Every structure is written in structure tokens, then in C-alpha cells.
Structure 1
Amino acid sequence: MADGVVVTERKDEARDMRGLTYPFATLPNPGEATPVAPGVLWMRLPMPIALNHINVFAIEDGEGWVVVDTGLAIEETRGLWEAILSGPLGGRPVTRVICTHMHPDHIGLAGWLCERFDAPLLMTRLEYVTARMLVSDTGKTAPKAGETFYRAAGWDETQIETYRREFGRFGMAVSPMPAGYMRISEGDRISIGGHDWRVVVGEGHSPEHACLWRESDDVVLGGDQILPRISSNVSVWPTEPEADPLGDWLVSLERMKTVLPEGALILPSHGEPFYGVHMRLDALIRGHEMSLKRLERSLKEPKRAVDVFGSLFARPIGDGVRGMATGEAIAHLNYLARQGRAERTRDADGVDWWTAAHIEEA
């Protein structure tokens, strides 16, 4: 350890079965940090859910640090931030907080850090506004539109009652958001520690997700836009039931291939830093295309959204992830409908039945 920073030994790059390479041999321990690029530290915060961690980063900024993403607003995470602030960050102030997007594991402690250091919050407009909207649902009664949405997807009354009971939980893992923010947009360049970081926006996983690319040495803070081992959830939600986020996601992935260099070091929000961004983007696109073909073949007979989980997911879907699985199933179905490849009919009970418009042979 030097100056409060745990230096991870490097090994020969490990290549996985996907052709990606991982340059760092070990993970940072809770409350510690690993340098991953000049002036950039990687920290890893645990989460009490199936996806059990989030990576957050700190970038040297003169006498302080810019923090990128923050973890959930829970006591364990606050305690780890106390250790990080006094240890790896050396007691130096946080000058700015940047959140790649609005999900609670990314914005959870943004308000807490901003208030503590009187630091501004930087986000894209749609991410900030969507976060404020969802946080405001906490304590409210579930809307009828949500019940209609999940009934149409095939949920039974017990599952809909669970939706009513759990509505508004988004804000329970988010500290009070700053009342104002600084907007970042596609193509902006943010100066941090004398270096420019270019904003590259993606859509689909969230409305206006910001990646940050330091073009001088091709370091990319990828958020949830480019993950090495899993595909980010791409879902339709009751607030916009006719949305086509999968279409947005696929367009964004194709665009990233034209923007980001193959040699970039990707610093993702989950998993480990890696090289091989074009290969990974191709694999993500190919994975969804294969899922769409399986789904289309499964629609020879009418099915509800909950009936197609087996075509899309490799494991059984339990109650804890039913909402995300349903949202992702509808995202794929809506995409097929937009492409003229599937049709939907709502029955007298308010349930949607989907069938393939043209059956593709295996």
C-alpha cells in the first residue's frame, strides 16, 4: 500500500472463452482501491442482491477526486465510502459526482456525497429527470396502469398484489437527490485533472446512459452499457408500455463499434476491467439476435409474456426478478412487433397473447 492505495499486482493477461482479456489479477477488497489507469482508481462495493457488487471509480482532479457512480444508499455502503474517503482517497475532497445513469446502484449515494462535499452532480438530462420521477413514487399507491400492464403480461392476482405492495421501492435505496444538477450530453468533453473525457451516450438499458472516454489513452468508463460477462437488462416498464428499448439498445451497440477503439480499456460497472470491446459488442448483439429468433419460433402458438421466459433466459425466473424478466420479455416482443414479426391480441380478461406473424423455420 502506498499513499492509501492498494496496488494490485498484474499478471499475464487472462483471456476468457469470449476472447476478452482481463489485465488485473485480483479484485479490490472492500474499502480499498486498485489503480487501473493513470489517475484512475477502481473500487468495488457489495450489494445485497443477486448481482452482488458494483464497480465505482475515482479520477484524480487537482487536489481532489471526481467520483463516478456511488453504490446503493445502505449503511454498509456508507461505511465503505468512509473507509475509501479516508484511505485510498487520502482525505482529499470530492470535487464532482458523475452518475452514468439513474439506477439505484449508480445514484444511491450521489446526494449524500454531493451534500457532504458541496460538490455538483453531473448527469444527462433524461437520467436525472427519470431518477427524480421514480424517487418521487416512494410512499405512493401503485397506479392502475401498472396493474393493467402486468395483468396483460400474464401475472396472476397474487403477483399483482406483490407489485402493489412493493411499488415505490426504487427510492428506498437512494439518498435525497440534489435539487439541481449539471447537464452532460453526447459529445461533451469534461476536463478532469487536465485531461478531457468525452461523453458517449447509449440507450436501451436506461434512457440516456453516459459512458466516459479519455481519448488520450483510450480508457472508457462503460457503466452498464458494456459489461464483460452479462448483458444489461433491457426492459419495458408500465410508464411506457409501447416502448422499444431493445431497438434503442441494438442501435447503441452498433454505434459504439464505430466510436470506441478496439484497443480501449473498458472499466465496467459490473465484472472486471477488460480489453476487446468490439468483440464484446458483437457478442451482445449476436446474443439478442439469437434470443429473438428463438422467441419468434416459440410464437407458433399464442403466448403471454410470462410464457416466453424459457426462450430468453437460461435459468428459472423467481419472484425476486419477475419484474425485470417480464420487462425484458416485453422488450423483445415489442421489438418483434415493430419489425412486423409478431402480433398481439388482448383478450376479454385484459391479457395479451402474442403470435409470430411469419414463422421462421429452424
Structure 2
Amino acid sequence: MSLHHPFTTPPQPGDVIEVRPGILWARLALPFQLDHVNIYFLQDNDGWMIVDGGISNKQTRAAWEALLNGPFAGEKFTGLIITHHHPDHIGMAGWLCEKLDIPMLTSRTSFLSCMMFAHSPAVMEATPYSEFYARHGMAPEIAALVSTQGHNYLRMLSTPPFTYRRLYHGMTLPIGDRKFQVLTGDGHCAEQVMLYLPEEKLFLAADQVIEKISPNVSVMATEPEGNPLGGFIHSLNYLKRELPEDVLVLSGHRLPFYGLHIRCTDLVAHHEERCGMIHDACRTRDISANDLIPVIFHRQLDPHQMSFAFSEVLAHVNFMVKRGQLEWISEPGDRLTLRSL
């Protein structure tokens, strides 16, 4: 079964598309290769509940003003749901919550992660983190650039709210006449929030399941032995098991679609293929995680892209180590390399 798209054209800037009665879709621009983020509006008893807010910059604030003075002129808002702590989703949270006088709703992990980066961005420059990259074979000058990514995060963030209302897996979230089931999943982000409406077969998937692109799944220096890819695959299998195939999927990027199960299957197959490439590379010689980057990414990478690429390679490596397919070898100078089993 292939994916089916009920909407083939996204909403124009400053406009919305009605996905279902009382459920609206808008789109905000991003200054990245992935050049947009989807946001949603859910009709509530006394106004609208917003889902995600975009990156904090002049262009996004202007886009929000256009929405608030256009299709939402005179409307009230009841809250802002943040699906996860990446800046294209949480960046405008502080600005929106203050301007509209609304609370932020998110998972505990998303809130605490955002607060750490917002108020202690230099923590990622600590010696244990630069040593983490060096042990895996990264050149010192690249490691120095990668370890300052916390400052880039801060530049994309309005001052976040200091309080929040917690969303957690299994809870019911009433919004207007609808009762959404809150789901959370790991992988792209720890405890990423998703919303499921069984009666209408509607699934707000955030960045967990997106058509055509695979969300980044990364090991962070703060948890060097983490297994986010294992968490991601577990989440995809859960969604295939618990949600029907014919739900309408509203993702954080690209177009809404039908075909949840086949998309989950394709995402798992994509990562298994990468694991196979890594396993083959480690058969020929002991190799560092950093040296595996060109095995997976066949293009020149700038330091920002290198950060994501290294972290994603390590996610596959840690997953394979835990599955017994690879083992770590300690080299002189405390350098780590990998060997296939």
C-alpha cells in the first residue's frame, strides 16, 4: 500500500486549511534545508489550542502576526501544546504564551531539556563532552564547533515559559468536545508528545512519523551510551500495533497522509539498511564512529551537519552494540573503535 495524501498543496503563508471541522493546519517557514514546520489549531471550548509554534526569529513573528490578524482575528486561545524541545517547535513558545496569556503544555522531558539549553547553553562545552567527540575520532577543531551547538539553540529560542502543564503517555486531554489520547515516543526526541483521536481516526504525529523523510535520531553527549534508535523502533512498532492503518497522520513537516503502517515499516527498514552498511564497514577493519560518517552520508558536510551526522551514526552503533552485532575496542590514547561480531 502506498501513501495517500488528502491535501496535495500546503497552506499559504498567513492562511490555514481546515483538515476536519475544528482542526486547522498552518505552515511556518524555517531557515534550513527543511524549510517549514507545520502547526495546528484545535477548537476548544473558549477558543483555540495551538500545537507547536515555530522557530524564534523576525520572519516567524511576522507570520504569527499575519495569522492572528487574519484567520484568527478576534479569536481567543486556550493553550500551546509543544510536541518536543527542538527549536522549530518550541522556539516561539515564550513569545506566544506571553502575548496570548496562555499556558504551555508539554512533556516533562521536553520542558527540562529546553530549560537546560536556554539557561545553560555553555554546558555543552564542558570538557567531558569535547572528550566524548575526540574519543570517537573527531578532529579537535570540528569537536570544538560541534560542542557549541547549544549557543545556536539559544539563538532560535524566545525566553521559554518558566512553568508548564505536564502531558504524559496514556492521559486523556479534553479539547473542546474532543478527547485526545496523549502518546509519547522516544528516538527523535525523548518523550515526544503525539495526540490520537480514535473516534475520528486522526493522529497528530509530531516528528515521529513524517512522509518521505526520516527524522533525525541522535545520541547526545550527555548520554553517550544511550539507545535512541532502539526507542524509535519500539515507538514505531507500538504505533503499528495500537493505531489503525487508516488514520489520517498530521506530522510536524511535509503533507498529511494516510498509510501509517507502511510508513512505520519503511522507517524501520531504512534504519536496518544503515545498520547493514555499518556492519559491512566494520568487517574490513576496526573503525571509529567518526570514520563511519562517510559510509552513511555521501556528501560534504559543514560542522552543523557533521554534528547531526555523527550523532545519528552513533545512534546506529549503540543500537547494534546492544544487539550484539558490534563491539567497542579501546585503542591507545583512550580512542574507541568498532569491530563487527
Q: TM-score, normalised by structure 1?
A: 0.90
User: 1-side partners of 2:38 and 2:272: how far apart?
Assistant: 28
Letter in 2 for 1:353: T
Deviation at 1:30, TM superposition (A): 1.2
Decide which of 316, 319, 322 is 1:332's aligned counterpart: 316
Could you tell me how far 1:342 is from its partner in structure 2?
0.6
State which of 190, 200, 203 in structure 2 corresponds to 1:220.
203
Which of 268, 271, 293 is matched with 2:254 structurally?
A: 271
Note if 1:288 corresponds to 2:276.
no
Residue 11 of structure 1: aligned partner = none
Q: CA deviation at 1:139?
A: 5.2
Secondary structure in structure 2 of the residue aligned to 1:308 = helix
Match of 1:244 in 2: 227
Question: Is contact 2:8-2:255 (8 Å) kept?
Answer: no
- In 2, distance between residues paired with 1:271 and 1:214? 21
Q: Structure 2: how far apart are the matches of 1:347 and 1:153?
A: 10
TM-aligned CA distance change 1:233 to 1:259, over 3 Å: same
Q: Does the CA-based 8 Å contact 1:189-1:197 persist in structure 2?
A: yes
Corresponding residue of 1:305: 289
CA contact (8 A) 2:206 2:252 kept: yes
Aligned sequence identity (%): 34
Q: Alpha-carbon deviation of 1:160? A: 2.2
Give the Cα separation in 2 of the matches to 1:327 and 1:175.
Answer: 26
Q: 1:210 Cα deviation (Å)?
A: 0.9
Mapped partners of 1:81, 1:334: distance in 2 = 40
- In structure 2, what is the equivalent of residue 173 of structure 1? 156
Q: Distance in 1 between matches of 2:183 and 2:8?
A: 28
Distance apart, 1:318 and its partner CA: 3.1
Query: Are 1:93 and 2:76 an aligned pair?
Result: yes
Deviates more, 1:326-335 or 1:85-94: 85-94
Gaps (5+ residues) in structure 1? 1-17, 358-362
Q: How many residues align?
A: 340
- Contact 2:55/2:92 (8 A) holds in 1: yes
Q: 1:276-311, CA deviations, whole angstroms, 9 ceiling, x for partnerless residues?
A: 000100111111111111211110111111222233
Secondary structure of the structure 1 residue equivalent to 2:249: strand
Contact 1:137-1:168 at 8 Å conserved across structures? no
Alpha-carbon distance in 2 for matches of 1:129, 1:320: 23
Change (3 A) 1:61 1:292: same
Query: Which one of 135, 156, 167 corresponds to residue 152 of structure 1?
Result: 135
How far 1:186 sits from its partner (Å)?
A: 0.8
Give the secondary structure class of the aligned counterpart of 2:11: coil
Is the 8 Å Cα contact of residues 137 and 335 (structure 2) preserved in structure 1? yes
Counterpart position of 2:174 = 191
In the alignment, residue 254 of structure 2 is paired with which amino acid? G
- Aligned-partner Cα distance in 2 for 1:314–1:46: 27
- The answer for unaligned runs of 5 or more in structure 2 is none
Please tell me whether the aligned partners of residues 145 and 303 of structure 2 are also in contact (alpha carbons under 8 angstroms).
no
Q: 1:141 to 1:217 in 2, by over 3 A?
A: closer
1:80 aligned onto 2:67: no
User: Aligned equivalents of 1:197 and 1:222: distance in 2?
Assistant: 12
Please tell me whether the aligned partners of residues 46 and 77 of structure 2 are also in contact (alpha carbons under 8 angstroms): no
* Closer, same or farther: CA 215–129 of 1 in aligned 2, 3 Å: same
| Equivalent residue, structure 2, for 1:349 | 333
Q: Secondary structure at the match of 2:169?
A: coil
**2:162 aligned partner, one-letter code:** A
Structure 1 stretch 270-279 or stretch 139-148: which is displaced more?
139-148
Structure 1 contact 263–277 (Cα < 8 Å) conserved: yes
User: In structure 2, which of residues 78, 85, 93 is the aligned counterpart of residue 102 of structure 1?
Assistant: 85
CA distance in 2, matches of 1:320, 1:178: 27
Q: Deviation of residue 51 (structure 1)?
A: 1.4
Structure 1 residue 319: Cα displacement: 2.5
Deviation digits for residues 213-239 of structure 1 (CA, Å, limit 9, x no counterpart): 122211111100101111111100110
* More divergent stretch after superposition (176-185 vs 137-146): 137-146
Deviation at 1:23, TM superposition (A): 0.9
Whether the 8 Å CA contact 1:73–1:174 is kept in 2: the answer is: yes
Q: Give RMSD over aligned pairs.
A: 1.6
Relative to its length, the structure with more helix (as a share) is 2
Q: 1:163 to 1:319 in 2, by over 3 A?
A: closer
Separation of aligned partners in 2, 1:314 and 1:93 = 48
Task: State the alpha-carbon separation in 2 of the partners of residues 83 and 118 from structure 1.
Answer: 18
Query: Matched residues in 2 for 1:129 and 1:139: separation?
Result: 16
| Preserved contact between residue 122 and residue 148 of structure 2 (Cα < 8 Å) | no
Instruction: Tell me the CA shift for residue 179 of structure 1.
Output: 1.2
Partner of 1:322: 306
Measure the CA separation in 1 of the matches of 2:140 and 2:295.
24
